Amino acid sequence: MEIMRLLPRIVSLLNSASKFRSKTLRYKSTIFALSSGYGKCGVSVIRVSGPEASASLFGIAGMKKFPTPRQANLRKIKNHLTNEILDYGIVIWFPGKCVASCPKSFTGEDVCELHVHGGFAVVTSVLETLGKLNDYRPADPGEFTKRAFYAGKLDLLEVEGLADLIQAETEYQRKQALYQMEGSLSKVYMVWRQTLLKCVAHVEAYIDFSEDENIEDDILEQNEKVIQTLVLDLKRHLADGRRGERLRDGVKVAIIGEPNVGKSSLLNLLCRQPAAIVSSIPGTTRDIVERALNIQGFPVILSDTAGLRVDTQDVVELEGVQRARKCVSLADLVLLVVDSKKFYEDIKNEKLSYEDYVKCYAEQLKISDVIFETGLKSNRKLADVGVKSKFSLKENCLLIFNKTDLLKDELELKLLERKFSNVCTISCENNSGIPNMMDSLKRKLTTLCANPSRESPSITQSRHRYHLQDCLHSMETYLNMYKESAQNCDVVLMTECLRQAMRHLGKITGHVSTEDILDVIFSDFCIGAHTFVQDIPYQNVEMFLS
């Protein structure tokens, strides 16, 4: 049968698609490094990987033969040149050559791990001794993981997931990173890539055997339906609101409002420490004060801003206001703070409705475009109590009425809180209303980040989004060429569009890449390389009662 001539072409396509990942680098050097991170601790783990990893067993661990793989052995760790005892530690051997098809070590090579006491002097002496062994050198940042990647132990998405898991500081960050490291995102892209590969094979068959009676006439039409479905899936995947990226990098939350409404007090309350100076003098906060928080499992970058007002002549305060406006424009969530006492007095004296007051307040601060979806009608009246009214505040805005402790009657404000889902009434002075505010804040954060799942993983990095958009463009080009040319379409060019789409997906997982891109990814992988909000650690903010 003539169809047999198709097999070499399909095999060639498969080999081409996996050429990058099937490449096995035979490293001549053996590398070593402290894998558990620097700092005093009870136990430090020093990893050795490479063709001469066994030299550390026989050299500094004093073994006479290979130990049982993956079994802990208590040994004297010695300087092989002077025979001086450096420490007593655990030695574990992971042979990479015992099962050629599936080496049972992290890097796919021979690996030796030395578990020694975590004192600086102990670790330094062991590392210096390893450096004196033949063909041993210190590992470059991320080199263990890079070798694991080249050995096929991890793909690039799993590598990035592992790096994120090491750096995760909140519960939802941990979940997202773990699912990615397990391959949930890789599986999605690999299924798409295999679908494209089948489509390419079908088109290649059509090119070679279009006159053969065994090739269906509607093969291009079938391909079009498959690609259309794939395009819809990819568009849905891209339309995720950047939830995964936001969860990985942190939700930017800006606290804004007039001077002296309690913005800094709110920041301090959420941080549970005096992070910002609090004073009754308006304009105390001049610059942006940032803190990284863990709010019920979500990473938050909380920014306290200068009070917004336009009547000041203070040059420094004006600069603070400009910075505040810029911060608001970049924020994922805006907390607009209002003085409850002033609000209550104004609506009584001016006979304003709640919505009129908020509109005037926003216009006065020049933030209407930031908090409103559409303009409000000034003559609109509040609906009956207990009925949820449609309010035009943006979904990423939470209106917080502070200083309720100064009111004699909080009933009217409480009615507003019941009426609108984006309104909270609190007192930073006595912690009144804080649990309800934290609930509202968590709902907003859940909407912005979503809850990570294995079934529907989100895009976690802009690199992924860039290649996915290019992949989508290539598939749409294929569909446009098919529709415009009908039966006289250039099948060869259409096939190239599908190949391009495959390449873009391959670049995400690392099946297709360039060395310079890999160098950037792995150089950022080492422990401690990633910092978050100027090295400020996350602080746990738990719901607490007054």
Q: Look at residue 67 and tell me whether its pLDDT is greater than 70.
A: yes
Q: Which of 18-22, 53-57, 286-290, 321-325 has the highest mean pLDDT?
A: 53-57
pLDDT tier for residue 534 given thresholds of 50, 70 and 90: very low
**Confidence (pLDDT) at 109:** 93
**Confidence (pLDDT) at 218:** 76
Helices of type H across 315-395: 315-330, 340-349, 354-365, 368-371
Q: Say if CB 416 and CB 529 are below 8 A apart.
A: no
- Indicate the SS3 state at residue 94: strand
- Indicate the SS3 state at residue 393: strand
**Confidence (pLDDT) at 390:** 45
* Choice between 425 and 378, residue whose per-residue pLDDT is larger: 425
pLDDT average, residue stretch 23-45: 82
Q: Which of 149-158, 228-237, 383-392 has the highest mean pLDDT?
A: 228-237
Q: Which of 243-257, 302-316, 417-431, 440-454 has the highest mean pLDDT?
A: 243-257
User: E strands within 222-288?
Assistant: 251-257
pLDDT average, residue stretch 407-434: 79
What 148-153 contacts at long range (C-beta under 8 Å, 24+ apart), as own/partner pairs, is: 148/106, 148/107, 148/108, 149/510, 149/518, 149/522, 150/23, 150/24, 150/25, 150/108, 151/24, 151/103, 151/107, 151/108, 151/109, 152/21, 152/22, 152/108, 153/103, 153/106, 153/107, 153/108
How high is the mean pLDDT of the chain? 82
DSSP category for residue 332: S
Q: Look at residue 378 and tell me whether its pLDDT is greater than 60.
A: no
pLDDT average, residue stretch 518-540: 49
Which range (71-75, 210-214, 381-385, 409-413) has the least confidence? 381-385
Q: Say if CB 367 and CB 308 are below 8 A apart.
A: yes
Q: Look at residue 333 and tell me whether its pLDDT is greater than 90.
A: yes
Euclidean distance between CA atoms 181 and 156, whole angstroms = 10
pLDDT tier for residue 354 given thresholds of 50, 70 and 90: confident
pLDDT digits (tens, 9 = 90+) for 131-170: 999 999 999 999 999 999 998 899 999 999 999 999 999 9
Q: Which residue do the tokens 């479905």 mark?
A: 229
Q: Look at residue 521 and tell me whether its pLDDT is greater than 70.
A: no
Distances in whole angstroms, Cα of residue 455 to Cα of each of 181, 191, 244, 360: 14, 14, 14, 46
pLDDT average, residue stretch 448-464: 89
Q: Find the largest Cα–Cα distance for the chain.
A: 93
Which range (28-37, 302-311, 479-488) has the least confidence? 479-488
pLDDT average, residue stretch 316-340: 89
Return the half-sphere exposure (C-beta side, CA atoms, 13 A cut-off) of residue 322.
Answer: 6
pLDDT digits (tens, 9 = 90+) for 275-309: 766 666 666 667 788 999 999 999 999 999 888 87
Q: Look at residue 12 and tell me whether its pLDDT is greater than 80.
A: no
User: E strands within 175-287?
Assistant: 251-257
Q: Say if CB 355 and CB 363 are below 8 A apart.
A: no
Q: Look at residue 516 and tell me whether its pLDDT is greater than 60.
A: no
**Confidence (pLDDT) at 170:** 94
pLDDT tier for residue 3 given thresholds of 50, 70 and 90: very low
- Indicate the SS3 state at residue 114: strand
- Interior angle at CA 150, CA 147 and CA 151, nearest 5: 85
Threshold 0.95, pTM exceeds: no
Euclidean distance between CA atoms 208 and 409, whole angstroms = 84
pLDDT tier for residue 206 given thresholds of 50, 70 and 90: confident
pLDDT digits (tens, 9 = 90+) for 260-269: 898 889 999 9
Distances in whole angstroms, Cα of residue 479 to Cα of each of 205, 224, 370, 499, 534: 19, 7, 39, 14, 47
**Confidence (pLDDT) at 47:** 97
pLDDT average, residue stretch 39-44: 91
Which range (16-20, 232-236, 536-540) has the least confidence? 16-20
Question: What residue ranges define each of the domains in the chain, with the CATH number in brackets?
Answer: 1-24+154-240+452-513 (1.20.120.430), 28-150 (3.30.1360.120), 252-449 (3.40.50.300)
